[in-house]
Chain A
Amino acid sequence: DVKVTQSSRYLVKRTGEKVFLECVQDMDHENMFWYRQDPGLGLRLIYFSYDVKMKEKGDIPEGYSVSREKKERFSLILESASTNQTSMYLCASRTGTTLFFGEGSRLTVL
């Protein structure tokens, strides 16, 4: 089975802190994604990566950056967290037409 692992299930940070959300997949997928999930808004794509060191903006990239130094790992970075970034963050990887999701990281920014 494909496994997408998000290292932190719950985080609480303060406004202005730098936040790293880590995601690892074990199936050698080229494409990886970060989504943000908010009630009533569904999933919105923040960034995706189609290869090591390659990235492309999604629909809501403002306030976020990403890093992909190794194929299996895709990190989401909040340079200076703000309260409006309190949300559930979902990582996914893709093979063919199917996305495989991690269990999510719930971030609260105080």
Chain B
Amino acid sequence: AQSVTQPDIHITVSEGASLELRCNYSYGATPYLFWYVQSPGQGLQLLLKYFSGDTLVQGIKGFEAEFKRSQSSFNLRKPSVHWSDAAEYFCAVGVSGGYNKLIFGAGTRLAVHP
């Protein structure tokens, strides 16, 4: 069965530090891959997505993610974190058959120290 694993439940970084959030998936073919962010009290917002082509994708708010087929990973990165990035981040996988049944990871909660 398809699955998504976000190994880190909580991460704390200092403002200005770099960030990498990990995401691993289990799926036989190349999936559609997404990162969503949920700020406190808000709904989820799409940060970026990957379907094919260039394995390094750019998103909003200065985030990027890299698809590595050999590692079944789609890690999210940001070179310099801002206090406003404190939120929960969800990796999601879309499998064959369309985009109506995304599988979400458990989420990684990011705290940012001043």
Interface residues of A (CB under 8 A from B): 4, 31, 33, 35, 40-45, 48, 50, 56, 58-59, 90, 92, 94, 96-104
Lowest 4 CB-CB distances: which A-B pairs, in order? A101-B43, A43-B104, A42-B104, A42-B106
Q: Does B100 contact A (CB under 8 A)?
A: yes
Give, as a whole number of angstroms, the nearest-CB distance from B86 to chain A: 17
Complex Cα distance, B60 from A54, in Å, reads: 33
Since A43-B90, A45-B102, A99-B44 are in contact, a sample of 4 more A-B pairs with Cβ atoms closer than 8 Å, ordered by chain A residue number, is A33-B100, A42-B6, A43-B92, A101-B44
**A-B interface contact total, Cβ < 8 Å:** 54
Chain B interface size, under 10 / 10 to 19 / 20 to 34 / 35 or more? 20 to 34
Q: What DSSP secondary structure best describes chain B's contact surface?
A: loop
Given the known interface contacts A90-B44, A103-B42, the answer about A97 and B100 at a Cβ–Cβ threshold of 8 Å is no
Tell me which of A40, A45, A103, A104 contacts B101 (CB under 8 A): A45
